[in-house]
């Protein structure tokens, strides 16, 4: 028997990186998984590979109507939502304060922060009716301690995710719902290619890997419902010098 038998999870940003690794880890533990993301092709390939209990539901998390349709489809299909993993996120190449455009600033906040809010809001009625639920928000170490490497828009968005997580616990714990903001340091995912100076293969090998975060999220999702961890930081053991990449 798997640790998530009979449970239903919605994982955003599930086409690659942390989201795909998490969907895979959950499915291997018997969970039914809705894979959400903007690109249909990788989502459908992943859902096919993971088996009949996984479904690809393409959507932009910053689109409230699209998010509502996705969650409605999950509830119609499986009748519940036990775990939400808000993992969808992005950054822009020109990210310093003097270089980031107003449009890019808005885009980063729309996906990383507003998207987290919209998907969470959509699943809350179902979780409240169940009397339980787990919301796992993939934040960033940059949301806990601002970093020049990630830029102000990304840091501000992820700090907002941390605050939103705290607010969720304040308002939803009486419904049996818990939330955790997971704040990883550098993770070797495709978002690294969007940095002004992409890290080398050697540097990426020393970073956290997507499967490390997947196992962390699986741990959080399978804790007894009475346990709530509000914020968790996770970093590579070796802290590399990235000053030349600024």
> Is 239 a domain residue?
no
What are the pLDDT digits (tens) for 3-49? 999 999 999 999 999 999 999 999 999 999 999 999 999 999 999 99
Q: How long is the chain? A: 246
> Is 245 a domain residue?
no
> Is 3 a domain residue?
no
pLDDT higher than 90, residue 192: no
At which residue do the structure tokens 């639920």 appear?
133
Structural domain total, the chain: 1
* Average pLDDT of span 223-243: 92
pLDDT higher than 90, residue 193: no
Confidence tier at 132 by pLDDT (50, 70, 90): very high
Q: Which of 59, 63, 161, 152 is nearest to 112 (CA)?
A: 161
Mean pLDDT of the chain: 96
Give pLDDT, residue 201: 93
> Is 242 a domain residue?
no
**Residue 46 contacts residue 14 (beta carbons within 8 Å):** yes
Domain that holds residue 16: 8-232
Confidence tier at 240 by pLDDT (50, 70, 90): confident
* Average pLDDT of span 185-211: 91
Give pLDDT, residue 1: 78
Confidence tier at 147 by pLDDT (50, 70, 90): confident
> Is 107 a domain residue?
yes
β-pairing, 231-234 vs 177-184, is parallel
* Average pLDDT of span 117-131: 98
> Is 240 a domain residue?
no
Confidence tier at 245 by pLDDT (50, 70, 90): confident
Min mean pLDDT across 56-70, 94-108, 137-151, 230-244 is at 230-244
* Average pLDDT of span 78-96: 96
Q: Catalytic site residues?
A: 154
* Average pLDDT of span 158-180: 98
Exposure on the CB side of residue 33, measured as CA atoms within 13 A:
33
What is the DSSP track for 102-161?
A: HHHHHHHHIIIIIHHHHHHHHHHHHHHHHT-EEEEEE--HHHHS--TTT-HHHHHHHHHH
Confidence tier at 99 by pLDDT (50, 70, 90): very high
CA torsion sign, 28 to 133 to 34 to 117? Answer: negative
pLDDT higher than 80, residue 244: no
Domain with residue 39: its CATH number is: 3.40.50.720
pLDDT higher than 80, residue 241: no
Give pLDDT, residue 202: 92
């Amino acid at each position: 028997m798997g640790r998530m038998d009979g449970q239903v999870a919605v994982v955003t940003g599930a086409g690659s990186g942390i989201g795909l690794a998490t969907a895979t880890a959950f499915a291997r533990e018997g969970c039914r998984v809705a894979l959400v993301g903007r690109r249909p092709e990788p989502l459908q390939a992943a859902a096919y590979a993971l088996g009949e209990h996984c479904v690809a539901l393409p959507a932009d998390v910053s689109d409230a109507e699209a998010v509502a349709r996705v969650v409605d489809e999950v509830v119609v299909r499986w009748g519940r939502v036990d775990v939400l993993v808000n993992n969808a996120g992005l950054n822009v190449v020109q990210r310093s304060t003097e270089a980031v455009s107003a449009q890019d600033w808005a885009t980063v906040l729309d996906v990383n922060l507003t998207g987290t809010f919209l998907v969470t809001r959509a699943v809350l009625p179902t979780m409240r009716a169940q009397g339980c639920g787990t919301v796992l928000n993939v934040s960033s170490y940059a949301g806990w301690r601002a970093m020049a490497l990630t830029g102000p828009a990304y840091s501000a968005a992820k700090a907002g995710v941390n605050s939103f997580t705290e607010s969720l616990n304040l308002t939803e714990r009486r419904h049996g719902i818990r939330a955790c903001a997971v704040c990883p340091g550098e993770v070797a995912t495709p978002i690294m290619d969007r940095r002004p100076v992409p890290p080398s293969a050697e540097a990426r090998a020393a970073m956290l890997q997507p499967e490390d975060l997947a196992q962390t999220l699986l741990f959080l999702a399978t804790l007894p419902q009475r346990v709530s961890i509000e914020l968790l930081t996770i970093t590579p053991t070796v802290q590399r010098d990235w000053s030349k990449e600024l």
